[in-house]
């Protein structure tokens, strides 16, 4: 029986690497699949891993219809055994429902990969619908680490190294700076819950260490 599987974890937990590996494993057994992504850091229509691996993909925008795409491919005589859906947090709830229909009515496996919550610690609508509909939900065992060494559970957005909690939900960035020690204008960082609550990014922690570590009671941002 086909399944809708959801693989989730924070940034830096290897989701895109696993998506590429999953595709490789199924293709090596003679199965034919399609790869989808949305807002990948490497650009449109590309599934990329931070390890440097990448694969051509089909870009999913707000108007994309998975059901129509798969039915169209089958109608034209194509073969589709499975779908790899990376960055699934950016899909709309209706697109997740289309994926569930592909599984149930066409018996095609769907492997979805994405993070659960945005930089505000609020569930992405697409991820929330996956949690509700997936046959299996798999939390990745590769643990991303906060700058303090604890397990990272939160995704933070930074602007010039300072954590922000307001703004557009979808802003493409990365967790790494490509310009030496210079901080990107917009970036992302994984934090433990404590340091996400306190807005304590790695760069801010370094600055605090340089001037001494004050008690947090008088700083409303650290509450």
For 45-62, the pLDDT digits (tens) are: 888 777 777 889 999 999
- The confidence band for 96, taking pLDDT boundaries of 50, 70 and 90, is very high
Gap between the Cα atoms of 12 and 41, Å rounded: 13
Q: Does any domain span residue 30?
A: yes
Q: What is the CA radius of gyration of the chain?
A: 19
pLDDT at 127 over 90: yes
Tokens of 50: 């931070």
CA angle 202, 207, 166 (to 5 degrees): 55
Question: Which of 139, 168, 188 is the last residue in one of the domains?
Answer: 139
The residue ranking higher by pLDDT, 129 or 205, is 129
CB-based contacts of 1, cutoff 8 Å, min separation 6: 107
Tell me what the pLDDT averaged over the chain comes to: 86
What pTM does this model have? Answer: 0.75
- The confidence score (pLDDT) of residue 132 equals 98
Q: Does any domain span residue 203?
A: yes
Name the DSSP letter for residue 179.
S
Question: Which of 76, 107, 139 is the last residue in one of the domains?
Answer: 139
Conformation bin of residue 37: beta by default, left when phi > 0, alpha when psi is -120 to 50: beta
Q: Poorest-confidence range of 35-49, 110-124, 132-146?
A: 35-49
Note the pLDDT tens digit of each residue in 156-166: 888 877 888 87
Comparing C-alpha atoms, which of 103, 86, 80 is closest to residue 31? 80
Gap between the Cα atoms of 181 and 43, Å rounded: 24
**Domain span holding position 20:** 4-139
pLDDT at 223 over 50: no
Say which of 59, 87, 143, 166 is annotated catalytic.
87
Same structural domain, 106 and 182: no
- Give the mean pLDDT of 144-170: 84
Q: Does any domain span residue 14?
A: yes
Same structural domain, 26 and 133: yes
Residue 59 among the catalytic residues: no
Rounded to the nearest 5 percent, the helix, strand and coil shares of the chain are: 30, 25, 45
CB atoms within 10 A of CB 174: 14
Give me the residues paired with residue 201 across strands: none
Q: Does any domain span residue 125?
A: yes
Q: Does any domain span residue 144?
A: no
Question: Which of 106, 139, 172 is the last residue in one of the domains?
Answer: 139
Domain count of the fold of the chain: 2
Q: Does any domain span residue 222?
A: no
Same structural domain, 116 and 63: yes
Which helix (H) or strand (E) element contains residue 204?
helix 202-211
């Amino acid at each position: 029986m086909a399944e809708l599987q959801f693989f989730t974890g924070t940034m830096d937990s290897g989701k895109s690497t696993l998506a590429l590996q999953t595709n490789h494993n199924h293709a090596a057994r003679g199965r034919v699949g399609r790869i989808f992504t949305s807002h990948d850091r490497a650009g449109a229509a590309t599934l990329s891993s931070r390890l440097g691996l990448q694969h051509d993909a089909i870009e999913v925008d707000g108007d994309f219809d998975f059901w129509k795409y798969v039915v169209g491919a089958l109608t034209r005589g194509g073969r589709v055994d499975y779908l790899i859906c990376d960055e699934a947090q950016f899909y709309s709830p209706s697109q997740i429902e289309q994926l569930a229909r592909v599984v149930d009515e066409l018996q095609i496996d769907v492997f979805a990969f994405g993070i659960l919550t945005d930089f505000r610690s609020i569930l992405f609508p697409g991820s929330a619908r996956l949690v509700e509909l997936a046959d299996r939900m798999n939390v990745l065992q590769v643990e991303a680490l906060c700058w303090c060494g604890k397990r990272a559970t939160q995704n933070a957005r930074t602007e010039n190294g300072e954590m922000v909690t307001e703004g557009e939900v979808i802003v493409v960035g990365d967790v790494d700076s490509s310009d030496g020690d210079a901080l990107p204008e917009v970036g992302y960082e994984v934090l433990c819950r404590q340091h996400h609550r306190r807005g304590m990014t790695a760069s801010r922690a370094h600055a605090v260490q340089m001037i001494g570590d004050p008690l947090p009671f008088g700083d409303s941002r650290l509450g």
